[in-house]
Amino acid sequence: MGIAVNLREIGRLRESEGNLEEAWEIYDECLALLREAGDIQGQSVALHDMGRLRAREGQLVEAWELFEGSLAFVRETGDILEQSITLQDMGRLRAVEGKVDEAWGLYEQSSALYREARDVRGQGITLHEMGLLRVGDGKDEEAWKLFEESLALGRKPGETPNEGVTLDEMGLVQAGKWKVEEVLKLFEESPALNRNLWEVRGQSVTLYWMGRIFENQRHWKAALETYEEALEWASKANAPDLIEILTQSIRGLKEKLKK
């Protein structure tokens, strides 16, 4: 199915360029070819791409239906890793809709499959997102434990990042403040960013949220130290968005410490 594969890559290129309508038409053509050929694996990937695109456009109901179709096919193929990726994306949709319990259940399924597939990066990202949900629920202690687990996995040497899920999709979403606009921005930025930044950007993002927990608990010095460490990682990752957020957080805390 060389033609379908080529179409898929062209569609992803068009999507990364922001030509969403053209990307959709290409994905749709690709899916038709795969259906005609009876390629179940290919159809699951095409449906996932289309679901991601609809999520980017804010059409969350249609995105969910496309992800469900992708999951059905991928379960038929028995591909554990693709199942975990799809469940994770479905969890994100539910989180965006404010359906926290459903999102949590989907993340749990995804995390278990990542463990089974021995995908450390996928586990780390999912644990981080579960931590964000707990921050949104005000369960700081549980969130902290999840962030610590995520951080430990991110620092584990010798692991190859899974390119099926980008760190950037994880790092910019704020639990408890889910806004479709934020998710759309996140999907827009993701294709253009380096997908192999789990060891650097991921550390910064997780440390930032741990610093937030310290700050919420009014542990100013601990929060400052954590933010400063996060800033070091953000600088290594050359992540201007994180550098700006952390710089502002550090400035605010230093002012509190002067009082």
Q: Are residues 125 and 85 in the same domain?
A: yes
- With a cut of 70, say whether residue 179 has pLDDT above it: no
Q: Are residues 95 and 43 in the same domain?
A: no
Final residue belonging to a domain, choices 161, 192, 223: 192
Whether 39 maps to a domain, the answer reads yes
Which domain does 100 fall in, by range? Answer: 80-192
- Coil, strand or helix: which one is 119? coil
Q: Report the predicted TM-score, pTM, of the whole model to 2 decimal places.
A: 0.70
Q: Are residues 179 and 220 in the same domain?
A: no
Final residue belonging to a domain, choices 58, 78, 98: 78
| Measured distance CA(47)–CA(28) in Å, rounded | 9
63, with CB counted inside 10 A (0-12, 13-18, 19+), is buried
| Measured distance CA(159)–CA(151) in Å, rounded | 14
Q: Are residues 90 and 142 in the same domain?
A: yes
Whether 15 maps to a domain, the answer reads no
Q: Are residues 85 and 60 in the same domain?
A: no
φ, ψ (nearest 5 deg) of residue 157:
-75, 160
Q: Are residues 85 and 181 in the same domain?
A: yes
Whether 186 maps to a domain, the answer reads yes
| Measured distance CA(61)–CA(63) in Å, rounded | 5
| Measured distance CA(5)–CA(11) in Å, rounded | 10
- With a cut of 90, say whether residue 109 has pLDDT above it: yes
Q: What is the CATH number of the domain that holds 159?
A: 1.25.40.10
Q: Are residues 204 and 237 in the same domain?
A: yes
| Measured distance CA(82)–CA(43) in Å, rounded | 12
The pLDDT-based confidence of 239 (bands split at 50, 70, 90) is confident
- Coil, strand or helix: which one is 82? helix
The pLDDT-based confidence of 26 (bands split at 50, 70, 90) is very high
Task: Provide the number of structural domains found in the chain.
Answer: 3
